[in-house]
Amino acid sequence: MKKKKSSQSVSHAKDFSLEDSVIEVKALRSGYGSTVLMDGISFDVKRGEIFGILGGSGCGKSTVLKNLIGLNAPIGGNIYIQGKNLWNSPPKEKLAILNQFGVMYQQSALFGSLTLLENVRLPMEEFTSLPIDAMNTISRMKLRMVGLEEFANHMPAELSGGMKKRAAIARAMALDPSILFLDEPSAGLDPITSVELDHLIIRLSRTLNVTFVIVTHELASIFTIADRVIVLDKESKGIIAEGTPEGLKDTSNIDFVVRFFNRLPKDFQ
């Protein structure tokens, strides 16, 4: 029922409208030093939803994501995770917030010198004091979730691009996160592998009730997985659209949004 699609109005917030927000972003100013990429954006992400952050190349999607995951401090504004102010919390509290996150970066970056199992085990070694046997068992379980258990002892170089992405998701799930952030999960994958990854994300979302925040360019993927999206705009440094992918496709009258969702070329890159 969660993935039921609707082509009704953009403001149709469907099943999630009554649920609480796990992430609240208020007047976020995002960028580097004196370079402001996004200026004063606000949005929230509901518990259990698959939330998409879209926008043209270089508009600042990954930068916003780095603000959300505690990696880069925003220039201004506030980010609340389950009501707690991420960037204004004392270090111990901030760490507790960050421990609820799983992250898959745009350059998925498995450690090439470690096996898949060791890659998945790494966050546990860093953040828990579990005995090694327990960590290995959990790592195998995570690899099984993404269909890679039999590759536990393989090196990343022995895997296809899609398998590497799945392994990176397994590693992001190592600490049982309640929120999983994925930056361009299907970038560089062929359409079939990309669809398989979409289905994996939906399956994980349904079975684990994890909240997903996904940055992506892939239109087909957005329609398959995203419950709700925001579209960031480089020119105005703001959010130019927010809603369900179908709602935006059908009802938006914003040029970039119409071109993006209907695959009309011009200057979208």
Ligand X SMILES: Nc1ncnc2c1ncn2[C@@H]1O[C@H](COP(=O)(O)OP(=O)(O)OP(=O)(O)O)[C@@H](O)[C@H]1O
Binding stretches for ligand X (CB under 6 A): 32, 37, 55, 57-63, 106
Residue, CB closest to Mg ion: 62
Beta-carbon count within 10 A of 196 CB: 17
Return the one option of Mg ion, ligand X, none that residue 85 interacts with (CB less than 5 to 8 A, by type): none
| Options 58-66, 155-163, 191-199, 200-208: segment touching Mg ion (CB under 5 A) | 58-66
Instruction: Provide the 8-state DSSP code for 90.
Output: -
Name the CA radius of gyration of the chain, rounded. 18
Contact 161, 189 (CB under 8 A): yes
Residue 127 interface partner, choices Mg ion, ligand X, none, CB cut-off 5-8 Å depending on type: none
Minimum distance between the CB of residue 241 and ligand X, rounded to whole angstroms?
16
Residue 58 interacting partner from ligand X, Mg ion, none (CB closer than 5 to 8 Å by kind): ligand X
59 binds, among Mg ion, ligand X, none (CB under 5 to 8 A by kind): ligand X
Determine, following the binding rule CB under 5 A, whether residue 186 of this chain makes contact with Mg ion: no
Sheet holding 50-55, edge to edge: 101-104, 179-183, 211-215, 50-55, 228-233, 238-243
Is the distance from CB of 164 to CB of 156 less than 8 angstroms? yes
The H or E element spanning position 66 is helix 61-68
CA distance 221 to 105: 17
CB of 46 or CB of 61, closer to Mg ion:
61
| 62 binds Mg ion, rule: CB under 5 A | yes
**Considering beta carbons, is residue 55 or 123 the nearer one to ligand X?**
55
Of the ranges 6-14, 72-80, 104-112, 196-204, which one interacts with Mg ion (CB under 5 A)? 104-112
Which CB sits closer to ligand X, 118 or 184?
184
DSSP for 128-140, please give it.
----HHHHHHHHH
* Binding positions for Mg ion, rule: CB under 5 A: 61-62, 106
